[in-house]
Amino acid sequence: MLAKKTIKNQITLPKAVITRFGAVEYFDVSTDGECIILRPLQRSRAEEVRTRLAQLGISEQDVADAVSWAREKE
């Protein structure tokens, strides 16, 4: 199967691939240096999000600081 990247950096996944994932709307995208890896992300899987934040080194304090910063009035 082939997937072509458009000039807008979009890729349409082949129907044979995407039908295996049902109603999945979002994919976690990563790379191992040679391959692009798509992992289905279920919106209700909070533990997956926590794991990903931990992998990125983002702590609860980082999130709290970001929220405070975003709420500051200019």
What is the per-residue pLDDT for 70?
A: 92
Mean pLDDT, rounded, for 49-74: 89
pLDDT digits (tens, 9 = 90+) for 1-22: 888 999 999 998 888 888 888 7
- Average pLDDT score over the chain: 87
Decide if pLDDT at 43 tops 70.
no
Percent of the chain with pLDDT over 90: 42
User: Which residues lie across from 5 on neighbouring strands?
Assistant: 11
Residue 65 has φ and ψ, to the nearest 5°, of -65, -40
Distance CA 60, CA 38 (A): 26
